[in-house]
Chain A
């Protein structure tokens, strides 16, 4: 008598076997039942899985999305004009007036510059931490003696609170007594840069020219994509991509008169050199984290690969550029997420380093805090917060979409 198990598997894989096997019905019945049992268990487990997840989802729904909703609502009111701190404060819906005011009133020039500052802060923190972290990781990957000590030294700034970091670096960057004094210890003249007291600004542009600048940046990206598509051979597609780029450039150069004035008077904005000091402190604090990430990644490169590359005659530089870096790409994406999250928390660092009213180093998060809790303008503060949130969203959503697509790809 053939064993039921063998017959079952034979049933599964050959129709001939199915036709030929004795007591077919009973075996199929048993198989069907077994599979059904697994399926039921699976469904029940899925329900359990979802219910394990549910409390977290509810908490996030309330504490994140509920509160965001409340903030958005507040930003559409006029809470703050009048008795803001009454037991039942008067709030009237005024639509998008707060947002309009932020972008067009000349009193809010500080806010507009803060947006520019926020852009530069995030870019410096991300690029700086990634670059320095990668550099240190490569150094440590060479396995020097005392690697553990070096690693701890580079990692420990992460253990400090932003407030502590801010206070210490404020001292270090004091123009008359901090790092500026160091060159004098070896006979060179003392540094003259005013660090966070500096009011210098480079790369200045007029706020009114932002549409034009955006158009040019977008068209450059499109041209880059067009060139890449052309190289791949699909000429027609390249031309389709290049065409709007050309239109945008033409519009940026010639069509500015068609755009309505956003502000009554020209307003200069630019890259505040004072933010460099804050960025240095932030990079000091977080490059250890990216170093740890990259070190882990480099260590994760299969052992044989390095040897093989060396045997093939590749120099160390070639090894890093051609073999290691591509493997590190997913790490970079993950690090960018964390660093973007941190750049929002830079509020505490800026507050401790530069104080509440240093316009050169200001950030929308600081402005929101002051507007709300010092100026009692709750609705205006809420609008600043919403704009900040949207900016972060803008930055994060492309990452999330690409990660989502990759999940899909991996699953299928």
Chain B
């Protein structure tokens, strides 16, 4: 009797130990192919995430398939070729918002992540405005890895003092001080190749329209040929007069260089410029360079977000879901964002890990109104953005606001904006 009891205890104990061990031991194996366009300076940030994944799931062979070049067009070409050919990667990088929804969700190629969001508690930790931009009626579609801000204006305070101007609060203010700067041989606003013009346009539009009317444009409530929308192009044309005329051949870094070198006064660029100035140029945020919300957009955070989704038919679905869990986790985002120069989408991130700029950005993220970027795929689908680049080129040559507004209206209709 005592022996049987002992045996039972031993067997149960071994059984429990076995179960416990099984739970501890990772049962994920096979491979995981993640597809992104991060390389070069952005590589270390992605590697940090990969390291976390490899530590948690040593049985999985993680393949980091990056495709760089061509401002992301090459990555899109490869991704779309693979998806059309029935060979999806396990997870791929995509800008959160309409770039994902208009292309992949509409084509029914992505899995709904609502249950994952609820399981991980992300619905409480991400701002509501962000989740709204990530979703449709049918679900939530991607996990944001980071948040970048688009509407930032960069300048060197000491230079502004030297030239006798101040950072403008509205675009009208900018137009007032620009001639003064030009008279001193300074370029008031540095601009680079075509997409930076799109980037500038959305800041101008946000400044002229305000966040509600900006969102109305994309909901279809406000027409592109309405007086307000035409006024955006009008203002944009006026601002362009004060930019450098060799813009088309410059990279965005070279435009930032112009500000750093004192050749230009202001530059409107996303906050990856902070990463460039801090890391590559070795400048100290707040000391060597300064920033403010671009004119007319104080209190509004125009966001863009790199995110990963789960394609239907992913060969290693469980491994992919584990990847998504890490991306949205506190540990993941605290490892990734300081290296990338962006901020976390989570409102509970450890701000001590970030530099002065990122801390100020995170503060704004938690308090400002969230608006979505156009140039970086949040509010409009890819068809519209592709055509918009052509409209912008048209405008850069003709400088005709009405023509540009009409063209925008036509392409919005063609691409189903607001439907």
Residues of A that sit less than 8 Å from B by CB: 80, 82-87, 89, 106-107, 109-110, 163, 170, 173-176, 194-197, 199, 274, 351, 354-360, 369-377
How many residue-residue contacts, CB under 8 A, span A and B?
Answer: 120
Assess whether B390 is in contact with A83, with CB atoms less than 8 Å apart. Answer: no
Assess whether A374 is in contact with B73, with CB atoms less than 8 Å apart. Answer: yes
Which of B80, B193, B246 meets A355, CB within 8 Å?
A: B193
Additional A-B contact list (14), CB under 8 Å, known A83-B107, A106-B410: A84-B103, A85-B83, A107-B387, A107-B390, A170-B249, A175-B246, A194-B246, A196-B249, A357-B393, A359-B397, A369-B77, A374-B73, A375-B383, A376-B383
Contacts of A358 on B, CB cut-off 8 Å?
193-194, 248, 393
A354 to B245, CA, bound (A): 15
Known: A174-B250, A357-B193, A370-B73. A199 touches B107 (CB 8 A): no
Q: What's the minimum C-beta distance from B102 to chain A, rounded to whole angstroms?
A: 8
Assess whether B194 is in contact with A109, with CB atoms less than 8 Å apart. Answer: no
Which of B247, B383, B394, B410 meets A197, CB within 8 Å?
A: B247
Contacts of B245 on A, CB cut-off 8 Å?
194, 197
A–B complex contacts, Cβ < 8 Å, 12 sampled: A83-B106, A83-B108, A86-B107, A107-B407, A173-B249, A174-B249, A194-B246, A274-B248, A359-B396, A359-B397, A374-B382, A375-B386
Instruction: Determine if B185 is an interface residue (Cβ-Cβ < 8 Å).
Output: no
Q: What's the minimum C-beta distance from B202 to chain A, rounded to whole angstroms?
A: 15
**The 9 nearest A-B residue pairs measured at CB:** A375-B386, A359-B393, A357-B194, A197-B248, A175-B246, A373-B77, A83-B107, A86-B107, A85-B107
Assess whether A360 is in contact with B248, with CB atoms less than 8 Å apart. Answer: yes
Contacts of B396 on A, CB cut-off 8 Å?
199, 359
Residues of B that sit less than 8 Å from A by CB: 69-71, 73, 76-77, 80-81, 83-84, 86, 103-104, 106-109, 193-195, 245-250, 254, 382-383, 385-387, 389-390, 392-394, 396-397, 407, 410-411, 414
Q: Whose C-beta in chain A lies nearest to the C-beta of B71?
A: A356
Contacts of B249 on A, CB cut-off 8 Å?
170, 173-175, 194-197, 354
Assess whether A375 is in contact with B382, with CB atoms less than 8 Å apart. Answer: yes
Q: Whose C-beta in chain B lies nearest to the C-beta of A265?
A: B403
Q: Whose C-beta in chain A lies nearest to the C-beta of B410?
A: A107
Contacts of B83 on A, CB cut-off 8 Å?
85
Contacts of B107 on A, CB cut-off 8 Å?
83-87, 89
A359 to B394, CA, bound (A): 8
Which of A110, A170, A355, A360 meets B390, CB within 8 Å?
A: A110
Which of B84, B254, B397 meets A199, CB within 8 Å?
A: B397
A173 to B195, CA, bound (A): 20
Contacts of B387 on A, CB cut-off 8 Å?
107, 375
Assess whether A196 is in contact with B248, with CB atoms less than 8 Å apart. Answer: yes
Contacts of A354 on B, CB cut-off 8 Å?
248-249
Contacts of A82 on B, CB cut-off 8 Å?
106
Assess whether A351 is in contact with B104, with CB atoms less than 8 Å apart. Answer: no
A87 to B104, CA, bound (A): 10
A106 to B393, CA, bound (A): 14
Known: A110-B390, A197-B247. A87 touches B73 (CB 8 A): no
A198 to B315, CA, bound (A): 48
Q: Whose C-beta in chain B lies nearest to the C-beta of A197?
A: B248
A112 to B370, CA, bound (A): 40
Known: A85-B83, A174-B246, A199-B396. A377 touches B194 (CB 8 A): no
Which of A87, A163, A357, A371 meets B109, CB within 8 Å?
A: A87
A82 to B103, CA, bound (A): 9
Assess whether B246 is in contact with A359, with CB atoms less than 8 Å apart. Answer: no
Q: What's the minimum C-beta distance from B191 to chain A, rounded to whole angstroms?
A: 11
- Among A84, A85, A170, A197, the most chain B Cβ lie within 10 Å of the Cβ of A85
Q: Whose C-beta in chain A lies nearest to the C-beta of B386?
A: A375
Contacts of B394 on A, CB cut-off 8 Å?
109-110, 359
Assess whether B104 is in contact with A357, with CB atoms less than 8 Å apart. Answer: no
